[in-house]
Structure 1
Amino acid sequence: MFIDGFILGGIGLVMPALTADLHLSATWQGLIGASALIGIFFGGPIGGFLADKIGRKPMFIVDLAIFLVGSAAQFFVAEPWQLFAIRLLMGMAIGADYAIGWPLLVEFSPARLRGKLMAFQEVAWYVGYLLSYAVGYYLSTAIHADWRIILGMSTVPSLIVFLLRLGSPESPRWLISKGKIDEALAIAKAHMDEADVQDLANEKSEKPNFGKLFSPQYRNSTIFVCMYWVCNVTPYFAIATFAPVVLENLGIQDGLTGALLLNGVVVAGSLAAMFLIERVGRRKLSIPPMWIAAVALVIIGLFSHFSPTIILICFIAFSFFNAVSTALTGVYPGEVFPTEIRGAGVGFAAAFSRIGAAAGTFILPMSVDSLGVGTTMLIAAAICVLGAVISQYLAPETKGLSLSDTSAPLAKSALK
């Protein structure tokens, strides 16, 4: 998650230099800005299918090896299509990792800490995004480093994480789903709490079935995680990727510094969610923050030329509360699906979310040009409202429940 945020954080920062050097049209700017997100759209379902089919452990290594190769290739880009293709491949690896890493972590996590551990994934994402932005900002302003160096920096954390993953155990729940009971229990007893070892008795040996995501049993779960995720990330990616441009259009002179501030705020918001999730529960962190984020964007939309100070305060409020609710996108997808379709469910939800994220990233510069910043922010607010309404009706409370209970059909577990 750290390196996912790291590759996405740098692209908006280097876009001006990248545009000048490669003579990018507005279309190429949008495509390159959205390339990693488009890759996640394809990589999520593919990685999820393979994780459910052949195991979490082997895919955990392979997908990051692909990402590492792509990171290094950014140093040698000479044409727009090359950068688009490389970041598309890196995005596919990241999308696969959502569907591999999250199920692996959730299947090892104790019920009492599962929410905090999964929410920490979002903290890591935002820290990666912030660090990429901060280091890139320094390199671009202080020493005027080439944009290839700034983008290629992702090679360093990618190599570190790749080495750390070597030797990871296979998920006991996945092994049981394949009928490998003895091997699963041996790993579980070495790495899991006793209560979670006992919960393994509820696991069944079942074959992966992608169509089960849309069955009457799990249709509501699929709808909820997909819509919740897309409504959180669409406004964020659109605004964060082009934050310097948006802030300068709103009258804030140093857009890069303002964007760096906003990235720091989202780290604080995700940390708050991580520390609160096992105390106040999932629903209280998923629904009210979306309404607050929507109100902040409405104020920006209606009074975009009123006061730069008020606009900056509203952007800070949006960034903080959007980060709080977005932390739940790292929690719910891994909890609400059973083992045999957990990878597929997380992968499909990640892919679906990137439709909105990529569309927002691609459309925002054109929307600002044709409709203005104010109207664009009102559209983003409407997306937040849609997410809040859907969450009000479908978001389950899974605090403290075993993984077997959280993955029960949503009709049984929602609103408890």
Structure 2
Amino acid sequence: MTAIGNATARPGEATTTAFKSRFLARMVIVLIGGMFLDGYVLGILGPVSGRMAEDLQLTAVSQGLIAAAALVGILFGAPLGGWAADKWGRKSIFMFDIGLFAVASGMQFFIDSPVWLIVVRLLMGLAIGAEYAVGWPLMGEFAPTHLRGRLLGAMQIAWYGGFMIAFLIGHLLSEYTEAGWHFILGTSTFVAVALFLARLGLPESPRWLWSVGRKDEARILAYKYMADDALDDVQHEDVRTGSFGMLFSKQHWRSTLFISGFFFCAVTPYFAIATFADSVLNQYGLAGGLAGGVGLSAVALAGVVLMFFLIDKVGRRVLTVPPQWVCGIVLALIGLWAGAPAIVVLILFLLFSFFNAMYTALTGVYPSEVLPTEIRGIGTGFAVAFSRIGAGIGIFLMPVSMETLGAGPTMLIAATVAFAGAGLCQWLAPETTGKTLTEAAAGYSH
């Protein structure tokens, strides 16, 4: 017998289909939990921002920095976590990031200054960034080909669900209980601790083991945990050391440009509009509060759910390119139609949330498919970091733009970003449906 971590099996000895199904279900739950936390820590901020600003006597700049701190953390945590995951494996980073998040999140119960709140949410962002860089690759590397799109998409369902649930919980606790903003922000700690415990004992990725030359260990884990036909594809992996520079090589620059630019243009307008849903809707004479914030998030969640059911049937490109053109047109209409009735503006915002969420979900699918294993972590991390530059800019500048330029010009800027993403994906978005990871990466890199 050969023991690898908690996995014990002879090379060539496959476990039952039921065992593998239970393992895959467990892996899916703990991975989508990480995405749930990312949405949660951003969504929970909106409902308590007013009380927190009053208690801490925050300036507009301080509010923007607190809102953007987690995104700045992701900016650095994603590429660092991806680099570490490609160098030392998925499993160690997988456990470290959720542990760091739990500790940092717990500190929110005790913070009483703006500076420390910024620092703590920065640490939480570092952990989430690493989670992105290891979670998506790990899901892609374990998922069966025929389920890969849906399982990667399910992680985005969790993100939108986390954002919506956090907004709801935050609003209810803030309005109907005596819970302070410290406790409301700190509720993410309970989820993080549960995920840490659930991850104990999970195995290393066989694809990563094979890519670094640890082939015997890879075979054992592939037979024990992966679909029966997965070992053949794992054995097509190249044994090669990845590097950051490979992302910009002649072979991989298109992949890097595509996943990074697509991600940037997808999340920049959404983060800005969703985070400040109350103030944006109020500018157009619409009621904000619970109905506004949760409404936009609920419609976005519906868009991701529709993508989940369609992605492995209609393909990636049809869910990526056309919805971006729709969002650009919708935002342009909001920006140009200054005297539009409130109900029309609300419908347009809901359409934007729905279609934006549909294609944004693909930002979590493509990196695992178009990048080879040796740079899958660092490439995913780089794309996530680049996207958070846009998200941070959107969140930080949205209040300033709404106040100085007005709602119309602000929406036109958002429309320009959406059109840029549509054009990029019209050019570069590949169709990877039905291909193994090896086939998808090889087909796009040459």
Question: TM-score, normalised to structure 2's length?
Answer: 0.91
Asked if residue 83 in structure 1 is aligned to residue 135 in structure 2, the reply is no
Q: Is the partner of 2:183 in helix, strand or coil?
A: helix
Asked if residue 156 in structure 1 is aligned to residue 218 in structure 2, the reply is no
1:249 to 264, 268, 283: 283
Match of 1:393 in 2: 427
Q: Is the partner of 2:431 in helix, strand or coil?
A: coil
Q: Is the partner of 1:194 in helix, strand or coil?
A: coil
Q: Using a 3 Å threshold, how does the CA distance of structure 1 residues 290 and 381 change in structure 2: closer, same or farther? A: same
Per-residue displacement from partner, 1:332-376 (whole Å, max 9, x unpaired)? 011111111100000000000000000100010000010001110
Asked if residue 298 in structure 1 is aligned to residue 336 in structure 2, the reply is no
Match of 1:266 in 2: 300
Q: Using a 3 Å threshold, how does the CA distance of structure 1 residues 305 and 29 change in structure 2: closer, same or farther? A: farther
Q: Which amino acid aligns with 1:60?
A: F
Give the superposition deviation at 1:411: 5.6
Per-residue displacement from partner, 1:93-113 (whole Å, max 9, x unpaired)? 000111111111111111111
Match of 1:35 in 2: 69
Asked if residue 349 in structure 1 is aligned to residue 383 in structure 2, the reply is yes
Asked if residue 18 in structure 1 is aligned to residue 52 in structure 2, the reply is yes
Asked if residue 143 in structure 1 is aligned to residue 187 in structure 2, the reply is no
Give the superposition deviation at 1:148: 1.1
Distance in 1 of aligned mates of 2:392 and 2:339 = 28
1:197 to 223, 231, 235: 231
Per-residue displacement from partner, 1:302-326 (whole Å, max 9, x unpaired)? 2244211001100110000000000
TM alignment of 1:200-349, pairs within 5 A: 200-349=234-383
- Asked whether the 8 Å contact 1:51–1:343 carries over to 2, the reply is yes
Q: Using a 3 Å threshold, how does the CA distance of structure 1 residues 275 and 87 change in structure 2: closer, same or farther? A: same
Q: Is the partner of 1:248 in helix, strand or coil?
A: helix
Q: Which amino acid aligns with 1:392?
A: Q
Match of 1:173 in 2: 207
Distance in 1 of aligned mates of 2:433 and 2:443 = 16
Tell me the percent identity. 50
Q: Is the partner of 1:145 in helix, strand or coil?
A: coil
5+ residue gaps, structure 2, are 1-34
5+ residue gaps, structure 1, are none
Q: Is the partner of 2:145 in helix, strand or coil?
A: coil
Question: TM-score, normalised to structure 1's length?
Answer: 0.97
Give the superposition deviation at 1:144: 4.6
1:71 to 96, 105, 121: 105
Distance in 1 of aligned mates of 2:138 and 2:338 = 44
Asked if residue 373 in structure 1 is aligned to residue 407 in structure 2, the reply is yes
Match of 2:442 in 1: 408
Give the aligned length: 412
- Asked whether the 8 Å contact 1:251–1:305 carries over to 2, the reply is no
- Asked whether the 8 Å contact 2:279–2:288 carries over to 1, the reply is no
Distance in 2 of aligned mates of 1:388 and 1:369 = 28
- Asked whether the 8 Å contact 1:38–1:358 carries over to 2, the reply is yes
Distance in 2 of aligned mates of 1:10 and 1:292 = 29
Distance in 2 of aligned mates of 1:144 and 1:245 = 25
Q: Which moved more, 1:334-343 or 1:200-209?
A: 200-209
Q: Which amino acid aligns with 2:185?
A: L
Give the superposition deviation at 1:67: 0.2
- Asked whether the 8 Å contact 2:210–2:235 carries over to 1, the reply is no
CA RMSD in angstroms comes to 1.1
Per-residue displacement from partner, 1:227-282 (whole Å, max 9, x unpaired)? 00010000000001100111111101344421211111111111011110001000
Match of 2:126 in 1: 92
1:55 to 80, 83, 89: 89
Distance in 1 of aligned mates of 2:166 and 2:150 = 24
Structure 1 residue runs of 4 or more that deviate by more than 3 Å after TM superposition: none
Distance in 2 of aligned mates of 1:133 and 1:4 = 13
Match of 2:148 in 1: 114
- Asked whether the 8 Å contact 1:74–1:83 carries over to 2, the reply is yes
- Asked whether the 8 Å contact 2:300–2:354 carries over to 1, the reply is yes
- Asked whether the 8 Å contact 1:243–1:256 carries over to 2, the reply is no
- Asked whether the 8 Å contact 2:263–2:360 carries over to 1, the reply is yes
Give the superposition deviation at 1:120: 0.5
Distance in 2 of aligned mates of 1:307 and 1:145 = 38
Q: Is the partner of 1:287 in helix, strand or coil?
A: helix
Q: Which amino acid aligns with 1:13?
A: P
Distance in 2 of aligned mates of 1:401 and 1:318 = 31
Distance in 2 of aligned mates of 1:301 and 1:142 = 36
